[in-house]
Chains A and B, each alone.
Chain A
Amino acid sequence: MNDRKISRRSFLRSAAGVTVALPFLETFAPKVAHAAGTPKRLVIYFTCNGVNMDTFFPKTAPGALTAASWNGQATAPLGKYFNKILIPTGLNMSPGGLWYGSKQTNVQGGDHGCGIVSKLTCAPAIATAGSSEKNRASGASLDYVAAQSINPSGRAALNLGVCVNGNDSMSYATYRASGQPAPPVNNPWNAYRDMVAATPAAAAGVDRNALRRKSVLDLVGAEKDALKSKGLSTADAQRLDQHYTAIRDFEVTAQQAGLVACRLPDSGAAMQALTNVTNYSNFPTVGRLQMDLMALALACDYTRVATIQWGEGSRGPAFKWDGINHQYGHHAISHHATNDADSNTLDPAAAAAMVTQIDNWYAKEYVALLDRIAAYTEPGGTMLDNSVVMWVNELSDGLGHSGIELPFVLAGSAGGVLKTGQQIKLTEKQFNDGRWDDGAPHNKLFTTVLNAVGVRDSGGQPLNMFGQNGNQGEYTQLKV
């Protein structure tokens, strides 16, 4: 692992492949995202299939991190931002902990289903009505909860995907509400167009796009209301409201003067040119374009909450780029299938090394995302300083489908709230619901993070507890 120093130059080279015409950082940075008032942002970087537990965490003991803390580890690239990073350890999945003995039975996709359904929601899986197969979460994910509180005009969280191709429990990490998965947008060009249409340039005269949308929505909105008045059940009325609320963003606000415009320098040409968006061969390209979009959307205040989900649990690409050339996909490797000559002869050591390569690749991309976010200057530092960028994995140890010792990485202090530059071991007595697990429930980390970025409940108070499982309160030891 000698590539700890991933230079900006090398990043630009790799990003400036076939489709990226204009290197993002060269044309954007440094820029002032906000002249006055510094909103806080929450970013979730979600990966799947677990990590190599031996090479993921810092080598150093809990305490202050240094640039060398991850030396020799898959996560060595994190050293670049050591003083902006917070590593909480000792966290266990809630609900679940170790999956065995948990109450989550009959979940579609087994442990992988449990992992992705409950990770960002801290809520158990439930079944679709009429079915006994549990395949969705029974609560909203933290990005949706956050967006409702801190996003301008309550716009939903920006939810981007990288080859999230499936359609079952293992495909959805984010939830709008109980039973309502919020699938990510896989195509950056689609997401970019939505943003552009909702953010006209200032003083552009009559916005005819918005006028047209309003007229159309006036008609279909009246139809929707008439349907509802015929006595729809709560469930069906909710379906309709959810649908038509999501496209009420014709009520756009023009760009504020002085703010970064919600426009890419190439007007999205690289995104538009991309074909086969959901083909795994485009995995790195799509991911980088999504991160370009994400950083811009945060800087121009289109959204203050964004998620990027790389692949899916129990699936995922065979990594064949950036010096990696795996025969099998991420999931197969996590279960030690590495050898083309005889797939029945498993090779744990080689597989572990491959998982380390994958973790390293994701660490580099995570740092590249931090680069993009930190490229914007704001009062008090950079946009990164006013954010929390949280790397979350579906599992911890992929081989055992484990939900303990979760591999979290946080970057950014949410404007000085979080104690960055530290690795902090969390301990907790038994969960409130009385099960055997003695780990620290991960829902409390989310409560802490949500409050740090300014999320408040309907009464204007900090949250007491995010999710349905775990414990109340915050991990105050993570705060300054």
Chain B
Amino acid sequence: MTPNACKTSPSHARLSLLLSCVAFAACTGDFLTPATTSGPKGNLATTVFDQQRPAERKVACEAGQAPLPLMPQLVRLSHRQYDNALRDLLGVTTSPSQNFSADPGTEGYDNNAFALIVSDTLARDYRRNAEDTAAAIAADPNQLAAVLGCAPAQGDACASAFIGRFVQKAYRRALTPAEASSYLALFKSASSIFDTGDMFANGARLVMEAALQSPHFLYRPQIGAAGSTLELDDSQIASQLAFMLWDSIPDDALLAAATAGALHTPEQIEAQARRMLDDAKARPAMRDFHDQTLHTDKFATLQKSGTKYPQFTQAVADTMKEEVRRFSEYVVFEAGGNVETLFTAPYTFVNASTAPFYGLSGNFPASGLVKADLDANVRAGLLTQVGFLSVNAHAADTSPIERGVQIQRDMLCNTIPPPPVDVDRTLPPLSPDIHTQRQRVEAVTAAQSCSGCHGRINPPGFSLESFDAVGRVQTTDNGYPVDTTGEMTIDGELVAFNNAVDVAKAVGASEQARRCYATKLVRYVYQRKESGEDLCTIDRITAQLESADYSIKQALVDIAKGKSFASHTVAGGTP
């Protein structure tokens, strides 16, 4: 459902009776002025704290007196964490979770710790994949040898060594003697369970099948009394770091640091975080953050008018999606960029299929993407990428409304409620008085009742009218010059602009955009709705990101060093 026109036209006889009952949510920057919704249950102090503005909570933050956020005692692995764990444990690269029921989305992300329950369906998905994976590896001598790491001829010694190494890695901690002996007993029970095959391979199969279904693998146990403060121990910190920065299990170096008790001071955590961010495994995790933040899933079903834009194929849409991913990855990991870079960078990544949409000529590869410099007077960062412009447009026309809504919601974290459903969404036809898409939108949203939201939505949307429904530059619309001027409120100030680049620069330089990005980043990597001490971390990062020397990569290190990274309040209550 996209916000749209405001002319009321009851489509159902009874609707008109109820218009007075429609509760329109306020169209405000209430991201900065939190609404009076309840915070985590039963914690009044947190609820009050979460309502405060940054200036009001500054003292408590600096005194280390902010309440700690709640976390459940068991955090299930997200599907990406599960896939990457199987990759790092067993060399499985098929992303088995693509056959699982999807993780639930909450507050914009699908890894919320409270939402990650195991349904009946998922329990069977886990079992099926544990059985299939274990059977396939046990049946392949090469794979089995790699996983075992010792010679079956050594008998129990090899079995114990395999269990010690493999199960420990799956559990992300040293095994207790009781656990090790339970697994060895299971290993050795193979001959009473199987009637065919090599019994050593069968034993390894049983161990893999069990470990992949163990609660110690599928969940991160962080157990303590409900309401108490839990300080993560070194091995829990190893997991927290790995799942945050790699979406996977810790590697040997991280586990060794934890075992040595050298993974709890801010310096120790920072050193590991820096090492991990330089590892290739850090990139998929951030790619997923940007995928969800920028809704790249929409490219899969993006349709354009075949008559008006015959060049726009699914392959083009797929390339546009990869462009968003490659660009954000480059900004974070190669350019050392920050939020402003994301909104103002005068370059992007193209191939032969998408270069023409930028008006670029020259030799570009048919596949893969190469960096291309753009005219800095025309394009700037994410907002003027052909992908953003295409996704937020109709099949044959631009949609200033969709573009404006996405800027307000996703980039500035302003609350824009959905439009009332009982309005006539039809833009007026072109006429002697109405020449352009901008004028059609202005006409349909002219009513006083529309201005609360559309006063915010329309201006940034209009600034992008210099780009058509597939992101190409257009100077005219229906033969009339496009009008990209206007004014919008950013950081509480009215900002006048002439074009899209002005808007991109104003957004990119704003505290609001920095806070919005920092909030989402914390929400994603901490796997919860930000609360209490998390807000202090967000405040600090928001302030620091103003400096050109402070990068998103540095922000990730600082999030890992945050107080609420390694400590939280244990949640009780119902799921």
A interface residues with partner B (beta carbon < 8 Å) = 98, 100-101, 105-106, 110-112, 128-133, 135-136, 156, 159, 165-168, 171-172, 176, 178-187, 190, 193-194, 206, 208, 211-213, 215-217, 219-220, 222-224, 227, 230-236, 238-240, 242-244, 246-247, 314, 327-329, 335-336, 340-346, 397, 399-402, 404
Instruction: Say yes or no: is B307 at the interface (Cβ < 8 Å to chain A).
Output: yes
B164 to chain A, nearest CB (A): 16
User: Which one of B106, B425, B531 has the highest number of Cβ atoms from chain A below 10 Å of its Cβ?
Assistant: B106
Instruction: Say yes or no: is B23 at the interface (Cβ < 8 Å to chain A).
Output: yes
A243 to B127, CA, bound (A): 11
A236 to chain B, nearest CB (A): 4
Closest B residue by C-beta to A177: B575
Pick the interface stretch among B53-61, B220-228, B485-493. B220-228
CB of A128 within 8 A of CB of B115, answer yes
The one of A101, A234, A314, A343 in contact with B1, judged by C-beta atoms closer than 8 angstroms, is A314
A378 to B571, CA, bound (A): 52
Instruction: Say yes or no: is B295 at the interface (Cβ < 8 Å to chain A).
Output: no
Q: Bits for B10-42, please: 1 = Cβ < 8 Å to A, else 0.
A: 011011001101110100000000010111110
Complex contacts, B101 vs chain A, CB 8 Å = 183-186
CB of B186 within 8 A of CB of A215, answer yes
A430 to chain B, nearest CB (A): 16
User: Which one of B115, B219, B308, B529 has the highest number of Cβ atoms from chain A below 10 Å of its Cβ?
Assistant: B115
Given the known inter-chain contacts A101-B18, A230-B223, please indicate yes or no for A131 contacting B105, CB distance below 8 A.
no
Secondary structure at the A interface, as helix, strand, loop or mixed, is loop
A223 to B178, CA, bound (A): 11
- Given A220-B210, A344-B427, A345-B427, 12 more A-B residue pairs with CB atoms under 8 Å apart are A133-B106, A184-B121, A215-B189, A216-B210, A219-B183, A233-B572, A240-B215, A242-B120, A243-B122, A340-B306, A345-B426, A400-B11
Complex contacts, B38 vs chain A, CB 8 Å = 132
CB of B40 within 8 A of CB of A129, answer yes
Instruction: Say yes or no: is B198 at the interface (Cβ < 8 Å to chain A).
Output: no
Complex contacts, B118 vs chain A, CB 8 Å = 239, 242-243, 246
CB of A223 within 8 A of CB of B14, answer no
CB of A235 within 8 A of CB of B128, answer no
A233 to B570, CA, bound (A): 9
What are 6 pairs between A and B in contact, CB < 8 Å? A130-B69, A181-B119, A185-B124, A213-B127, A231-B225, A243-B215
Complex contacts, A132 vs chain B, CB 8 Å = 35, 37-38, 529
CB of B73 within 8 A of CB of A233, answer yes
Closest A residue by C-beta to B308: A341
A155 to chain B, nearest CB (A): 9
Closest B residue by C-beta to A132: B37
The one of B40, B104, B422, B574 in contact with A400, judged by C-beta atoms closer than 8 angstroms, is B422
Closest A residue by C-beta to B397: A344
Complex contacts, B306 vs chain A, CB 8 Å = 340
Q: Bits for B409-448, please: 1 = Cβ < 8 Å to A, else 0.
A: 0000000001001100111010000000000100000000
Complex contacts, A227 vs chain B, CB 8 Å = 74, 215-216, 221, 223
Interface residue ranges of B126-163 to A (CB < 8 Å): 126-128
A230 to B179, CA, bound (A): 16
A244 to B76, CA, bound (A): 13
User: Which one of B14, B119, B305, B307 has the highest number of Cβ atoms from chain A below 10 Å of its Cβ?
Assistant: B119
CB of A220 within 8 A of CB of B215, answer yes
A101 to chain B, nearest CB (A): 4
CB of A235 within 8 A of CB of B572, answer yes
Instruction: Say yes or no: is B367 at the interface (Cβ < 8 Å to chain A).
Output: no
B391 to chain A, nearest CB (A): 14
Question: Interface size class for chain B?
Answer: 35 or more
A256 to chain B, nearest CB (A): 23
A342 to B308, CA, bound (A): 10
Instruction: Say yes or no: is B288 at the interface (Cβ < 8 Å to chain A).
Output: no
Complex contacts, A231 vs chain B, CB 8 Å = 223-225
Closest 5 CB pairs of A and B: A183-B101, A132-B37, A246-B123, A101-B21, A243-B118
Complex contacts, B25 vs chain A, CB 8 Å = 105-106
Complex contacts, B99 vs chain A, CB 8 Å = 187, 190
CB of B574 within 8 A of CB of A179, answer yes
Given the known inter-chain contacts A171-B102, A211-B193, please indicate yes or no for A131 contacting B107, CB distance below 8 A.
yes
CB of A180 within 8 A of CB of B575, answer yes
CB of A343 within 8 A of CB of B395, answer yes
CB of B425 within 8 A of CB of A232, answer no
Instruction: Say yes or no: is B70 at the interface (Cβ < 8 Å to chain A).
Output: yes
A206 to chain B, nearest CB (A): 8
B132 to chain A, nearest CB (A): 10
Instruction: Say yes or no: is B329 at the interface (Cβ < 8 Å to chain A).
Output: no
Closest A residue by C-beta to B182: A219
A171 to B125, CA, bound (A): 18
Complex contacts, A186 vs chain B, CB 8 Å = 101
Complex contacts, B301 vs chain A, CB 8 Å = 329
Complex contacts, A98 vs chain B, CB 8 Å = 14-15, 18
A40 to B457, CA, bound (A): 55
Instruction: Say yes or no: is B472 at the interface (Cβ < 8 Å to chain A).
Output: no
The one of B107, B117, B119, B120 in contact with A133, judged by C-beta atoms closer than 8 angstroms, is B107
Instruction: Say yes or no: is B110 at the interface (Cβ < 8 Å to chain A).
Output: yes
CB of A343 within 8 A of CB of B394, answer yes
CB of A212 within 8 A of CB of B193, answer yes
B443 to chain A, nearest CB (A): 12
Instruction: Say yes or no: is B250 at the interface (Cβ < 8 Å to chain A).
Output: no
CB of A399 within 8 A of CB of B11, answer yes
A131 to B113, CA, bound (A): 11
Q: Bits for B451-484, please: 1 = Cβ < 8 Å to A, else 0.
A: 0000000000000000000000000000000000
B396 to chain A, nearest CB (A): 5
B112 to chain A, nearest CB (A): 6
Complex contacts, A182 vs chain B, CB 8 Å = 119-121
Closest A residue by C-beta to B573: A235
Closest A residue by C-beta to B305: A340
Closest B residue by C-beta to A161: B101
Closest A residue by C-beta to B12: A400
Complex contacts, A165 vs chain B, CB 8 Å = 102
B575 to chain A, nearest CB (A): 4
Complex contacts, A217 vs chain B, CB 8 Å = 213
Complex contacts, A111 vs chain B, CB 8 Å = 421
B476 to chain A, nearest CB (A): 18
Complex contacts, A399 vs chain B, CB 8 Å = 11-12
CB of B418 within 8 A of CB of A110, answer yes
CB of A240 within 8 A of CB of B74, answer yes
A100 to B20, CA, bound (A): 9
The one of A133, A136, A235 in contact with B571, judged by C-beta atoms closer than 8 angstroms, is A235
CB of B210 within 8 A of CB of A180, answer no
CB of B41 within 8 A of CB of A343, answer no
CB of A168 within 8 A of CB of B206, answer no
